[in-house]
Structure 1
């Protein structure tokens, strides 16, 4: 069986409206809807909270508290809403068609998460990982445990939105128009990487971190094409972001839900760069594990 045979059924709903102009207009429209609704949401929040000092809004926008993180991660539901509106209006497609067969997606998501939990435990136990200095405690354990179900749900909302947009909508529509994987794997991954290129926040490492995101996107595109649903890609993205947001975050931004903080920040260019090869290796390990879990 060809490795991407399942991809044909996954992209089938996109075939009737596969004109290139539609995906270009659709992506721009979905982005505009998301940005507009996101701006309205945060304007409403700022109006409700009333006058505050600048540090309050800085902490809110950088995710330094649990409440801020729930707001930031939850706002990704607006991204899902934007692409759902575009799929319905511009392509006469349902939201479910962006995910693939729901039963299959759920089963594959569960299988991949179970295996990645085992892989993560093995990786944690076997080598003597060393970040240079001890991890810095962030949330109290009791508070972290109490928030954990809501934290996992918030991360799921965030990663699902990104996968639905890039591996769902954009990949489906491009694959329905172009048969070459070079198009439907690389272009959505480039857009995904572009969204992670943040030179102001990431400094000298901005380009290599964007490259990491681009490679991650292509691996998720491969998983999606093999699986015939977004289940495995959402699972890998979910486990990756739980590790980076809920378990061990960097102290710069998005640290409000983390149990621990790393002993270095994004400003420590060399320390971050030294850890990136390990991060790349872990990305490939999780991709291979996900492929094993779905046996494709």
Structure 2
């Protein structure tokens, strides 16, 4: 050891600890933008994992109870003899009325997220959304960007595919206001659960994006698993749905609210439910049916690739719109 080398003194160790803390904090800030830190802050008051598990159980129970209550009301209105048939139609959204009712089942999911935040984590329901002005502004921006990117695809579908007509224009227009409200509820409920409640609570507990961004996106993809409707394409569609959730999670982190993800999700589902469907499900209010099914893997694979590229383009434009905040 050289003569001029000295052992570290306690105050030197304290200084090194402070520097290490500042460096670690800086790394975390690089991972999580300041706006996302503000968005997650209310969840940090009660970040325990047991609360998250309890909250998710409560959310699921309320969701099921809401659907049970809806079934009870429908049974009283139509009679027990027609209830099974009505529930089957609602499950697939095969008629205008059944599609609206299916979308309204997501009220229970939203109420479950509200109850979990308020009763389990003792925080205001509004904290799931983010600042109101940001939510409204980013919803409009996300919807507008998706619409502009999707417009060439709509024109291409109309010009090149052998489409068949779905519902008549007068029926579509008559149900359109209710359908838009239903889509707002359905997409908003999913954003509240996956990009709101789950992403916030996991980010409050873990620093790694693999936990708070990827895990909810994987679950988001898996809950859309429907082999009866999607056939051999099911895992490709689940992957695409999970990828969509991952991009929405990133935009939520960058914007500090669910507004942009909600706007994009709403626009995407409007395109896929009210304009063009493959006919297996959720086609009760579609203007056009595509000349192939979701289970037609050979035909749908290139379209899923184009869909992924379109999603990445929308995400990149939204990312650019958020730059500088």
TM-score range relative to shorter protein: over 0.9
The CA deviation at 1:201 is 2.5
Give the alignment partner of residue 56 of structure 2, picking from 9, 27, 52. Answer: 27
Give the alignment partner of residue 73 of structure 2, picking from 28, 34, 44. Answer: 44
2:306 aligned with 1:278, yes or no?
yes
Tell me, yes or no, if the aligned pair for 2:233 and 2:295 is still in contact at 8 Å.
Answer: no
Tell me, yes or no, if the aligned pair for 1:132 and 1:263 is still in contact at 8 Å.
Answer: no
The runs of 5 or more residues in structure 1 that have no matched partner are: none
* Higher CA-based Rg: 2
Higher mean Cα deviation, 88-97 or 23-32? 23-32
SS of the aligned residue for 1:253 comes to: coil
- In the alignment, which residue of structure 2 is the partner of 1:184? 212
The CA deviation at 1:115 is 2.6
Q: How many residues align?
A: 294
CA distance in 1, matches of 2:222, 2:125: 25
The CA deviation at 1:277 is 0.9
Tell me, yes or no, if the aligned pair for 2:146 and 2:268 is still in contact at 8 Å.
Answer: no
- In the alignment, which residue of structure 1 is the partner of 2:141? 111
Change over 3 Å in CA distance of 1:132–1:267 after alignment to 2 = farther
Structure number with the bigger relative contact order (C-alpha 8 A, sep ≥ 6) is 1
Aligned pairs for 1:90-239 (under 5 A) are 90-125=120-155, 128-129=156-157, 133-239=161-267
SS of the aligned residue for 1:111 comes to: helix
SS of the aligned residue for 2:162 comes to: coil
TM-score, with length taken from structure 1 = 0.92
Q: Root-mean-square deviation (CA), in Å?
A: 2.1
CA distance in 1, matches of 2:160, 2:229: 22
- In the alignment, which residue of structure 1 is the partner of 2:42? 13
The CA deviation at 1:198 is 1.8
The CA deviation at 1:234 is 0.2
TM-score, with length taken from structure 2 = 0.84
The CA deviation at 1:54 is 6.2
Higher mean Cα deviation, 259-268 or 71-80? 259-268
The runs of 5 or more residues in structure 2 that have no matched partner are: 1-28
The CA deviation at 1:123 is 4.4
